[in-house]
Amino acid sequence: MAYTPVPAGTENWDVPLNQALSDIDDTAEDAMAGDGTIVDTLETTTSTAYTDLATVGPSVTVTLTSPRTVAVLLSARMRNAVTSDDVWQGFTVSGATTAAASDNAGTRHNGSGALQTYTSTAVVACNAGTTTFTSKYRVDGGTGEYSLRVIAVLVL
């Protein structure tokens, strides 16, 4: 999914509420249309380093005309199918701004209990230009199972 926020220098209070709500609605509709922000396929990994699953992502691309701060929201239904070790969802940042996936900016589930949904939010300072945020996955041990994977980026 690609998103271009309001022009630089336009503060949140300068944006009419109806336009802001419309932007949120459009983003939600795009996600429901399957444009890459949601991946519902059940997939697994045994990697202890952040990696892609068989279906890469999901990912979101944001184009900024000036440096901005963004909030990255992650969510996934995840569990460990073999052990009670942690399973993780993180994200990489590429393009005008770069960063590796990190546990500090990710979400985790501990254990092999029923598949659960977890959400986390990380704040990232971004440079002007086009930046892509892509979900990545890892386990501490065992086999991580992931479905209903979501990533969203909100420009602050």
pLDDT given for residue 12 in this prediction: 52
Checking if the pLDDT of 19 tops 70, the result is: no
Return the H-helix or E-strand segment holding 86: strand 86-95
Checking if the pLDDT of 16 tops 60, the result is: no
Q: Is 22 exposed, middle or buried (0-12, 13-18, 19+ CB in 10 A)?
A: exposed
Residue type, 114: A
Checking if the pLDDT of 87 tops 90, the result is: yes
CA atoms within 13 A on the CB side of 60: 23
Q: What is the pLDDT of residues 98-116, one digit of tens each?
A: 999 999 999 999 877 767 7
What tokens were used for 41?
């396929």
Contacts of 21 (CB under 8 A, 6+ apart): none
Q: Which domains does the chain have, with CATH numbers?
A: 2-155 (2.60.120)
Q: What is the pLDDT of residues 28-79, one digit of tens each?
A: 444 444 445 789 899 999 999 999 999 999 999 999 999 999 999 999 999 9
- Rounded Cα–Cα distance for residues 44 and 146 (Å): 6
pLDDT given for residue 128 in this prediction: 95
Please name the residue ranges forming H helices in the chain: 17-32
